[in-house]
Amino acid sequence: MTPLKWILVGLLAVAAVAFAVFQVTRPLIVQRAFERAVAENVGVDRSLALPDGLHVYMCGTGSPMADADRAGPCMGILAGERVFMVDIGSGGARKLGRMGFPMDRLERVFLTHLHSDHMDGLGELMLQAWVAGARTEPLPISGPPGVEEVVNGLNAAYRIDSGYRIAHHGPEVVPPSGYGGTGEPIILPIGPTPAQVVLEDGDLTISVFPVPHAPVEPAYGYRIDYKDRSVSISGDLIYSPALVAASANVDVLFHEALQPEMTNLMRDAALANGRPGVAKILEDILDYHATPGEAARAASEAGAGKLIYYHTIPPIPTPALNPMFLGDAADVFAGPITVSRDGLLVSLPAGSDEVEMSMAIR
């Protein structure tokens, strides 16, 4: 063989040995990475590393439609050291765990309305909050009238399971008095109503305002102010002057949206495939959601600093479809626009104008 061939054979032999060593050691390397990840995450309050400010954990950015990247509507709120939630759709509670949300300090849940997609993760959340925080009192759940019936039903549904937990782990770990939730209705005056304060304590103010989502009545949106930072959360609605008024000059407006052309494509496909009932539902939902353009109009009129879409209909399987979803929204709202996905952490440090975004799912 020529010297060049000897070199090639030698290189191949070295590569083969290296590959064999890698194959043998790979399980060990992966195991070490797992051990490191466990040590860095289990029992660690990752929220302590965040700056003082207002932080929104986007634990669910989808709608009732199946979406691989989006659980049902769910937002965790960290305001200074105070911890809340707005809505808790299916799958949201598990996303919160992956995001390092301080579930053990959860004070209260605010529901925007009683459509199932906004509260079908509530039973799981109440259980997780009870266990994580060794709660000694049930979790308060605020929402439109009827919230008591929802929470009482979930308390009954999980009662048997709670008995198993107490028997297995002991009352010190899962105090029986802290099991479940307490539904606390928020009752607003009928008719056009300005935002009402539902919680005011030091640097923190949470306000509620009615939004149009007929036949779901009442339906609410929420505004949260902490120190000099603010966010507003639309819930489900059509374009709403009440939301615009309540969201004046917020740093970030979180707004739902339904894209009509994309939804009509789904309706046409359902009809073509012999599913008239599905087609009717896809037709019906057009009349009680805002379009991306209408959401942009609301953000513009409110003077919002940034617009983040959530509860996006239909599912958007790839960010490459965001332009199709958004249409002319960027012509209507001049500020920055984001189409959110689960795991997004939106941070607004106090004493600054910054809105920082990062993916917090690990």
Which residues are designated catalytic? Answer: 117
Beta carbon of residue 118, minimum distance to Zn ion (angstroms, whole number): 6
Return the sign of the alpha-carbon dihedral for residues 72, 78, 79, 85.
Answer: positive
Which residue number, 213 or 223, has a Cβ lying nearer to Zn ion?
A: 213
| Using rule CB under 5 A, residue 255 touches Zn ion | no
**Cβ neighbours of residue 340 closer than 8 Å, sequence gap 6 or more:** 58, 61, 254, 308, 309, 310, 312
Distance, in Å, from the CA atom of 64 to the CA atom of 204, rounded to the nearest integer, reads 31
Query: Which span (5-13, 14-22, 116-124, 325-333) binds Zn ion, by CB under 5 A?
Result: 116-124
Which residue number, 236 or 294, has a Cβ lying nearer to Zn ion?
A: 236
313 residue type, one letter: I
Which residue number, 117 or 294, has a Cβ lying nearer to Zn ion?
A: 117
Distance, in Å, from the CA atom of 237 to the CA atom of 115, rounded to the nearest integer, reads 12
Binding-site string for Zn ion from residue 34 to residue 73, where x marks contact by CB under 5 A and - marks none: ----------------------------------------
Beta carbon of residue 186, minimum distance to Zn ion (angstroms, whole number): 17
265 residue type, one letter: L
Query: Which span (98-106, 112-120, 124-132, 203-211) binds Zn ion, by CB under 5 A?
Result: 112-120
What would the DSSP string read from start to end of 313-328? ES--SSGGGHHHHHTT
Total residues at the site for Zn ion (CB under 5 A)?
3
User: Does residue 175 have a cis bond before it (omega within 30 degrees)?
Assistant: no
Sequence length of the chain is 362
Could you say which of 82, 115, 223, 306 contacts Zn ion (CB under 5 A)? 115
Return the residue matching tokens 């975004």: 357
3-state secondary structure of 226: strand
Which residue number, 131 or 257, has a Cβ lying nearer to Zn ion?
A: 257
Which residue number, 236 or 251, has a Cβ lying nearer to Zn ion?
A: 236
Beta carbon of residue 221, minimum distance to Zn ion (angstroms, whole number): 12
| Using rule CB under 5 A, residue 117 touches Zn ion | yes
Distance, in Å, from the CA atom of 62 to the CA atom of 327, rounded to the nearest integer, reads 19
End-to-end, the C-alpha distance of the chain in Å comes to 53
Beta carbon of residue 59, minimum distance to Zn ion (angstroms, whole number): 15
| Using rule CB under 5 A, residue 120 touches Zn ion | no
Beta carbon of residue 58, minimum distance to Zn ion (angstroms, whole number): 15
Please, which of residues 208-247 interact with Zn ion by CB under 5 A? 236
Q: Give me the phi and psi of 221, to 5 degrees please.
A: -120, 165
Residues that bind Zn ion (CB under 5 A): 115, 117, 236
